[in-house]
Chain A
Amino acid sequence: MTDFFGFSPEDANKVFKEFLKKGQFGELYFEISEGISVIFEDDIVKSAVRIQEGGVGVRVVEGETTGYSYCEGFDIDSIIKAGRFASSIASRKASPFVSVEYKKVNKHSLYSTDLILDNFELNKRANILKEISSFAYKYSPLIKKANARCTDSITKVFIINSTGEYGFDTRPFVSLSVSAIAEKGEKREFGRNGFARRGGFELISEEILKRISEEASRKAILNLDAKPAPAGLMPVVLKAGESGVLIHESVGHPLEADFIRKGTSAYSKRLGEKVASSLCTIVDDGTIPENTGSLNFDDELVLTQKTVLIEKGILKGFMTDRLNADLLSMPYSGNGRRESFKHSPIPRMRVTYLDKGKDHPEEIVKSVKKGIMCCSFAGGQVNISNGDFVFVPDESYLIENGEVKHPVKNLTLIGNGPDVLTKVDMVGYDLRFSTGNWICGKGQSVPVGIGMPTVRVKEITVGGVEV
């Protein structure tokens, strides 16, 4: 039989017997993760970093209670020690775990790589970064500095649980980021861009290096002439792609099953109700090849899937992990994710997007008398209980009489999730997914994907300084 981390599925019976009781769910999560980062700063290859980390997370679940512990290293004694702690939550004396037969779970094949870590010459990373930086300087003499970073990593996981399931997955990740500084007179502005995929360096082309470098430079220069943004309620056009931050914050988080179960979400007990404009179909999909949010199976061996959350405005489903799905008597959606072996899995988004509509993107812009158009974003945040969320654009423009005017800066948009979704009144046919490196933090950091077509929101509060 196959052997992972020097551990065979049969060993699991031996380990589980040491601490698990009948009726409890037990799980071992083996992980080893290796990564290389190279940093280009001040026009030199400034630094290189290698990270190597691994261990085994042991989880014991009994009803609503979870015990979690981990060890660094893969020897059976350490795993058992961690298991004894995790199982100390046991509330009743039950008979010990009975051996099971183990079966490999199904998985997708959404990513692969050959060119990564030691299979990709270290020095080639330096060349990539130099190229990115030189594209920026070529783009405009206003660019005074272009720093860049590239990171590649492989995470190998082996998961086995007391219901007799096991699986192994190799998860590659490559990302590039560039930050450009533009100067004109006394003014200094910054532009960022990035690229991230599940895969290796075969996915990095010269065209991509040029694109992210020029995008960062373009944004930096654009903000040199940006004017202060207006304040108050107004229509907002969100351009396709990165505007998916809106969906992630406004409805994504409140539809995660832990908030639903605890009743803290504004969407608890609202399944089947109309919660958004009928133009809104919102999906969380863990199966888009090479997207950073995709997984062959989730971090608790559940096959990932395409989950429709809202269909034509009607609330259809939630994003579940095993624990919350079981407690809510809902299906597993494959959204159980964790940052590393040091963390217990919780419901998390994968690739969340608003599906395409029928409107022409240009018509959407033309329809606005006075408002704002936002193209790219620095991030966002939500209060899942009252539904208030912010998202923070880093490229936006004033729209007047259907025409895009000058760029504006220093603004935050704030809305109420359930409220904003009823105000989406135009949806473009140009659905796009962001290829940037989006990291979602909910106590634990995980990479996610976002997507959206061009959209008009009838009104939302724009937080600029000009009243």
Chain B
Amino acid sequence: MKSKEYYIDICYRLVKKFGKNFEYLKIYLNPHQSTEVSILNGKIENVNFSETIPITIVGAKKGKTATVSGNYIDEAEVDLLINSLSNLIEIVEKDPYFVIPDKKLIGKADAELDIFDKTFFSISVEDMIEEAKKLEEIALSQSSDVKSAGSFFSADIGITVFANSYLFADGFEQTYFGKGVVLFTEDADNFSRNTQRKQRDGWFDYAVKKDMLLNSESIAKKAVKRVIARKGSVKPETGFFPVIFENTVARSFFSNIASALKGRNLYKKESFLVDKLNSSIASNILTIEDNPFIKYGLGSRLFDSDGVKAKRIELINNGVLRNYLLDVYSANRLGLKTTGSAGGYSNLVIKPGNKSLEKIVSGIEKGVLVTSLKGQGANIKTGDYSKGAEGFFIEKGKIAYPISEFTISSTFMNMLESIEEIGNDVYRSSSILSPSILFGQMTVSGK
């Protein structure tokens, strides 16, 4: 990896050299280095190291745009790529909504993100192997009932560089660490099925700085607790029940909501939130914002992939939809202003409530706590929702037993409107910062 300035300079020279051949030209360069080690039963399973410099160039002539992408090897290669842009543009038709972003929008926000770990290059592969080994060892020492499906440690560094025809060229750096362990155990109930069923679960943590990762002890204990708790899971009864999405799972729900808020899905009318701006779409306890400036945030950034300065955006306020997530093009199509959201949300922040997960569970007579989801049944186009799930059955305010092989179904609108509780247990190791959520009623399909 070379310095940020080195890559910014490459992009600057490219837009300077080729900018005049196009009505508008933008370049993204994303040099990235990644090291990952994985351990299985005390032995090194994999050590992967990669260094890559993907480049994407978008050019426009007379309202017609085309894209080329590849890996940056040298300037001669890039020259060839840019030359083929003109050929591609020839077969494209004029897009009446094409717009060149206002120069005033382009730039780097003035914020201190603190998302770069200066110790990055002093961390050796041996250190990483040691960390992953220790994590697995601690996990296995907690219980003789669990086996390892592998532990890992990863370290990434990336530079996001953007340049365009305005001769703007700038970038920001980010580091990213991950650590986790997956465990499995023989299931408690084997006699009723034609299988040697196992249960598997784990725990992971991610952070922009190495020292911010959860310690191995905490990760290991959580992983062991989760996998043991799954032993003997059964198929639940079919019926209507209140359903809690544990914070890690609530994340996937809000990620779907963010897609439904995306400009591209709105102008294509492929979102259930089309034409819903300023109307009430959710329970009044739901407030969501996109905040690119969270210190140490995994999704923090200074500009979006249009090169537009990042800013905080209120998306849903007390249940009312206030803003979509718009890039320059989709904003123009919808007659709105860009929200600096090209490429999607930055850090999606769901405002926490004040109850713990335990407290929320305690208020439920009979219901379901979902701890993992499966499948492609979240349809943001139609708003239909149906997914495979695993979790726990709740009886009389307490977690009663583990359940699996069931589905939960509803629609996004019904789910949003039926949010009854939002927990205080925000999951922070993600760019979606969500607590656990209670939906008043969903169809649970099992036996």
Contacts and interface: CB of A to CB of B under 8 A. Distances in A.
Contact of A419 (B52, B71, B195): B195
Contacts of A233: 238, 447
Interface stretch (A122-130, A236-244, A397-405): A122-130
Contact of B387 (A64, A73, A265, A390): A390
Which of under 10, 10 to 19, 20 to 34, or 35 or more describes the interface residues of B? 35 or more
Contacts of B235: 461
A82 to B, nearest CB: 8
A6 to B, nearest CB: 14
Interface string B4-24: 000000000000000000000
A262 B388 contact: no
A275 B377 CA distance: 28
B409 A465 contact: yes
Nearest to A275: B194
Interface in B430-447: 443-447
Interface stretch (A348-356, A361-369, A380-388, A424-432): A380-388
Contacts of A65: 43-47
B427 interface: no
Contacts of A44: 93-95
B376 A392 contact: yes
Given A72-B53, A122-B88, A125-B91, A385 B408 contact: no
A126 B88 CA distance: 11
Nearest to A277: B194
Interface stretch (A103-111, A278-286, A408-416): A408-416
A391 interface: yes
A419 B409 contact: no
A250 to B, nearest CB: 11
Given A49-B69, A391-B375, A410-B385, A69 B50 contact: yes
Nearest to B148: A262
Contacts of B410: 465
Contact of B95 (A36, A46, A69): A46
B68 interface: yes
Contacts of B84: 50
A465 B270 CA distance: 22
A414 B53 CA distance: 41
Nearest to B129: A89
A467 interface: yes
Contacts of A181: 269-270
Interface string A226-256: 0001011100000000000000000000000
A85 B49 contact: yes
A146 to B, nearest CB: 12
Nearest to A268: B196
Nearest to A40: B93
A414 B390 CA distance: 11
A69 B68 contact: no
B71 A45 contact: no
A126 B87 CA distance: 13
A386 B269 contact: no
B73 interface: yes
A386 B200 CA distance: 7
A25 B53 CA distance: 28
A70 to B, nearest CB: 6
Interface in A182-201: 188-190
A68 interface: yes
B40 interface: yes
Contacts of B197: 266, 385-387, 416, 418
B193 A419 contact: yes
Interface stretch (A52-60, A133-141, A168-176): A52-60
Contact of B445 (A49, A188, A409, A464): A464
A38 to B, nearest CB: 7
Contacts of B411: 410
Contacts of B270: 181, 190
A95 interface: no
Contact of A414 (B52, B71, B72, B406): B406
A368 B240 CA distance: 26
Given A51-B70, A66-B45, A262-B40, A38 B91 contact: yes
A163 interface: no
A436 interface: no
Specify which of A50, A82, A466 lies most central, judged by the most chain B CB atoms within 10 Å of its CB.
Answer: A50
Contacts of A265: 198
B424 interface: no
A229 B410 CA distance: 11
B376 A54 contact: no
Given A49-B66, A410-B385, A386 B91 contact: no
Given A69-B50, A89-B44, A390-B387, A264 B198 contact: yes
B195 A387 contact: yes
B92 A46 contact: yes
Contacts of B95: 42, 44, 46
B200 A392 contact: no
A123 B184 CA distance: 54
Given A232-B447, A380-B375, A463-B445, A48 B238 contact: no
A418 B443 contact: no
B86 to A, nearest CB: 11
B404 A379 contact: no
Given A49-B69, A390-B375, A410-B379, A467 B240 contact: yes
B409 A412 contact: yes
Interface string B185-197: 0010000011111
B360 to A, nearest CB: 24
Contact of B46 (A66, A145, A223, A392): A66
B149 A264 contact: yes
B226 to A, nearest CB: 13
Nearest to A74: B73
A145 B267 CA distance: 12
Given A190-B382, A385-B199, A53 B47 contact: no
B405 to A, nearest CB: 5
B88 A49 contact: yes
The 3 closest A-B CB pairs, nearest first, are A463-B407, A390-B388, A385-B200
Given A50-B69, A52-B69, A388-B374, 10 more contacts: A47-B67, A48-B67, A68-B46, A73-B73, A263-B184, A268-B196, A410-B377, A410-B386, A410-B409, A461-B406
14 contacts: A42-B95, A46-B92, A50-B69, A73-B73, A89-B47, A266-B196, A275-B194, A379-B375, A383-B372, A386-B233, A410-B377, A414-B388, A463-B387, A464-B445
Interface of A: 36, 38, 41-42, 44-55, 63-73, 82, 85-86, 88-89, 91, 122-123, 125-126, 145, 147, 181, 188-190, 223, 229, 231-233, 262-266, 268-270, 275, 342, 344, 378-392, 409-419, 422, 461-467
